[in-house]
Amino acid sequence: MKNLMMIGSALLVLSSSAFASQARLLALGMNETDNEGSYYISDSRNVFLNPAYINIYSNQATLEFGDYGFYVKPGAATTSDATLWTAQAPKAQGGVFAKYGNFVYGAYVGNESNTSALLRVAGTSAAGALNGAGGASSQMLKSADNQVDLFFGGDNGLKWAVNPTFAFGKTEATNAKDSAYAIRGGLMASNWDAHLNLSLGSKSEINNSITPLNNGALTETVNNEFKGKLGFHVGGSYLLDSKNRVFGYVKHYGWEQTDSYSKYALIRGAMTNNVGQQGTVDGDFTSIYVGWGRDFDVNGSDKIFTSLAGKQTNINLKFNNKSEVRQLIIPLTVGYEAKATDWLTLRGSMIQNLWGKRDNKNINNNAATTGTQLNSVAQATIAGIYGGSGKTTIANSTTINAGATLTFGQFTVDGLVGATAGARNGTTGNATNTGVLAMDNLETAVAMTYKF
């Protein structure tokens, strides 16, 4: 959804203020790969977690400002088809929800999945990821683009909605193309909600000539393909009383990736971090998340949001040297939202992992004969998110976020304040200047919402 700024999402009609964006939930401690929403904080972003929320957020529109997103590629590369949403380099997206009669309709564009993109990064051929000297002509599998979400829902005592979604893209220069199809469904009652989101089809492929290390003797036309299997995301929440809510989900995706490059045996000595594996390899991703959340009223207009949760992530790539991620974290999140004036709302949050551990295998080992067979870009990207190889507890894990909303009548502008300044391009999403409130980067993940 390149260079796209369209209309979308909604305002929070359960409050006198209008809140409706990733920026707000990130500032209050949302920490999800796809920023789908929150089980315990009311916000229109929740329609991507449970589409039944469109019954609460009708007759509203939002622009999520951004550009191409963050390019995932070797540092020397000049181009890449693999992109992620990050706070420092958001993707433009947006849509609109409107009520007509007894039903609510909606359309949203550009909400491409980071999980889907990361799986394609992992599925890219090891030779293709470092095509050319230093990967300057990197040929990553194309991540989802041109995504469209359609919504239709109603309320007959039980709020419900369905949300089919599809994405497609093509790059002629590298014979690369990508497609994905999914459907979400959700229900909401007075004290519970539930959703089932199904990935029905997902495919990315590239077929082009590869020359690792600019060595002509190693040139070969490579067929590199990612093919998703049926995936699901099922979860919900239950209100124990007027404030306390328990929630949880299970998310699982399976896939197979094919790499036809046949000359890895010739280049292992020269490319010790890029040993690769010819043939078809299976992979799977599973995330289990359970927790408790509640909010507290303060001074009649302010709120404290807090949650305690546990999250287990397992990733398997079944190379000859199997790559594994095993991570368990128990984060405590505390957020505060205060109405400073009629036109300014301030918020902030702290996330502290009370306890965590990981036991990863063959993520970023570089030995030519015993190391990982992941491509070098996937090594760095996965290590940047889940850590490198080895067994360890997770330390130094406090995260502080802040944000603000400016209100101008029916318009609101949300921003994530004080996001770390850093490079837009590179191998991982790690920024270069940590803990800096930079005036040239004062607000990122900016969104504008209008209620009509």
Please name the amino acid found at residue 240.
L
Most distant CA pair in the chain, distance: 73
pLDDT of 296-353, one tens digit each? 999 888 999 999 999 999 999 999 989 999 999 999 999 999 999 999 999 999 999 9
Q: What average pLDDT score do residues 258-284 get?
A: 82
What is the arithmetic mean of pLDDT over 84-108?
92
Query: Nearest CA to 375 among 253, 224, 203?
Result: 224
- pTM equals 0.88
Instruction: Dump pLDDT digits (tens) for 35-63.
Output: 999 999 999 999 999 999 999 998 999 88
Over range 404-430, report the average pLDDT.
65
Most confident of 15-29, 164-178, 393-407, 422-436: 164-178
**Cα distance between residue 182 and residue 148, in whole Å:** 11
With cut-offs at 50, 70 and 90, classify the pLDDT of residue 398: confident
Full strand arrangement of the beta sheet holding 83-84 = 83-84, 70-72, 425-426
171 within 8 A of 177, measured Cβ to Cβ:
yes
Whole-number Å distance between alpha carbons of 41 and 197: 20
Q: What are phi and psi of 116, to 5 degrees?
A: -60, -45
Structure tokens at 43: 């916000």
pLDDT for 354 equals 92
Report the 10 Å Cβ neighbour count for 123. 27
Query: Percentage of the chain with pLDDT > 70?
Result: 87
Indicate whether 147 pLDDT > 90: yes
b/e for 180-201, b at 16 or more Cβ within 10 A? bbbbbbbbbeeeebbbebebee
Q: Domain-by-domain residue ranges, the chain?
A: 22-451
Whether 426 has a pLDDT exceeding 90, the answer reads: no
Mean pLDDT of the chain: 86
Mean pLDDT is highest, among 164-173, 250-259, 261-270, for 250-259
Tell me what the mean pLDDT of segment 129-138 comes to: 86
- Comparing 88-97, 241-250, 411-420, which segment has the lowest mean pLDDT? 411-420
What confidence category does residue 162 fall into, taking pLDDT thresholds of 50, 70 and 90?
very high
Backbone angles phi, psi at 126, to 5 degrees: -60, -35
pLDDT at 424 over 70: no
CB 9 within 8 A of CB 60: yes
